[in-house]
Structure 1
Amino acid sequence: MAAPSRHPLQDPPPRPGLRERKKLRTRTEIRRATYRLIAGQGYEATTVEQIAQAAEVSPSTVFRYFPAKEDIVLSDEYDPVLAAGLRARPDGEAPLDALRSALTDSLRTLLAEEHDELVQRTRLMVEVPAIRARTAETMAVTGRLLTGVLAERTGRDPGDLELRVLTAAVLGALGEATLYWGEHGCRDDLLSLVGRAFDTLGSGLRL
């Protein structure tokens, strides 16, 4: 008798190969070097050439991983983690509740592992118009990813209007809560602010 197959969500994620790990290490070093330079001399004064030198790579390598300087600041490795977290939510859970849990878990991990970088990134979003504008583009990429996962969970088409609206609303709420956090000096509890944002989505604005 064949052994029962495991649910795919129970299987541990495959370990990245050597090439993927090297790429991730390079991306991380470039990003950390960028944050160090910006902390010391400001965003505008920091050049790609300086970033490359600090990360011990060539400028062409920086551009290969990050098409624009704004992308270095805004990028992270959490989209796949977020998608996996959403896929792992219980079957039948309401889409808004599933998104809330997955996003909150991912944010909690980000705060624990990269708190200082998140603070610096958020402050730059508040202070630098180019970064704030680029944020909308990166959110759109995350939105398409999450919409696709919701389509898997609900059996709807990935282009479904309601799925797109829900995902856009959730990411918009997350973005505004984060921006509010940055505008107030990153002193508040970000998780509580995000919780308030989700409560507003769920119940509306009560006057």
Structure 2
Amino acid sequence: MSTPARIEQQCGLRERKKAKTRLSIREHAMRLFVEQGYENTTIEQIAEAAEVSPSTFFRYFPTKEDVVIQDDYDPLLASAFLEQPASLPPLAALREAVRLVYGEVLAYDEQTILRRIQLVWAIPSLRARQMEGQIATMTMLTAAIAERTGRPTDDFAVRVFTGAVVGGWIAAVERWVRSDGEERLIGLMDEALVLLEEGLPL
């Protein structure tokens, strides 16, 4: 069991060990959710399967919902976005950042991510928590876009831009889930950004 290289590169040894424990807990949780259902799976069962104590589980995930909702990708995306050449406009820089980060993440574990999102869409309590995650993504992306463009985070154009990007990605995820993973998520995310680049021709 390992973690995506981009995560490992940004972590020390202790953080890499923590990332592997976190990943192990999530993988066992997802297996149990598939085998016996989300509602029928307890934190104690997940901890036992992952060979950790319930208290260790709570150090990594405050609730059972967080096993499905949380991920480590937003900071990686922001970092990759800010590292793009200054000559690239924001949407082009985002396209490259998506290719770098999600290309690696999805190649590593696309089916687990698909199962997580399918659970989110199927369970009302998870859908409500996912909204919090989307707001956090918008906050992170707003800060990154503001930094790259030299504008304040409360700039209306920055916030509209961010909302359009995140809205496009939500549509991409919806289509991905409906295709049961037959379409590639990274291609759909890129297509959403291309549509924004083209001014959404309808």
Aligned length: 195
Which of 94, 101, 107 is residue 99 of structure 1 equivalent to?
A: 94
Structure 1 residue 164 displacement after superposition: 2.1
How high is the TM-score relative to the length of structure 2?
0.85
Which of 115, 118, 136 is residue 141 of structure 1 equivalent to?
A: 136
How high is the TM-score relative to the length of structure 1?
0.83
Structure 1 residue 181 displacement after superposition: 1.2
1:120 and 2:120 equivalent?
no
| Range that drifts further, 86-95 or 15-24 | 15-24
Larger RCO, structures 1/2 (Cα 8 Å, 6+ apart):
2
| Cα distance in 1 between the residues matched to 2:130 and 2:196 | 21
Q: Deviations over 1:82-121 (max 9, x none)?
A: 1221011110321122222212332211210111211211
| Range that drifts further, 111-120 or 59-68 | 59-68
Q: How does 1:106-185 map to 2 (within 5 A)?
A: 106-185=101-180
| Cα distance in 2 between the residues matched to 1:88 and 1:23 | 26
Give the conservation status (yes or no) of the 8 Å contact 2:98–2:190: no
Matched residue SS, 2:87: coil
| Cα distance in 2 between the residues matched to 1:202 and 1:87 | 19
Q: How does 1:51-70 map to 2 (within 5 A)?
A: 51-70=46-65
Residues 148 and 108 (structure 1 numbering): CA distance in 2 closer, same or farther, change over 3 Å?
same
1:43 alignment counterpart: 38
Structure 1 residue 17 displacement after superposition: 3.1
| Cα distance in 1 between the residues matched to 2:173 and 2:102 | 11
1:74 alignment counterpart: 69
Gaps of 5+ in 1: 1-12
Structure 1 residue 37 displacement after superposition: 0.8
Q: Name which one, 1 or 2, has greater alpha-carbon Rg.
A: 1
Structure 1 residue 201 displacement after superposition: 2.3
Report % sequence identity: 45
Residues 151 and 116 (structure 1 numbering): CA distance in 2 closer, same or farther, change over 3 Å?
same
Matched residue SS, 2:138: helix
Matched residue SS, 1:90: coil
| Cα distance in 2 between the residues matched to 1:81 and 1:19 | 18
Structure 1 residue 159 displacement after superposition: 2.7
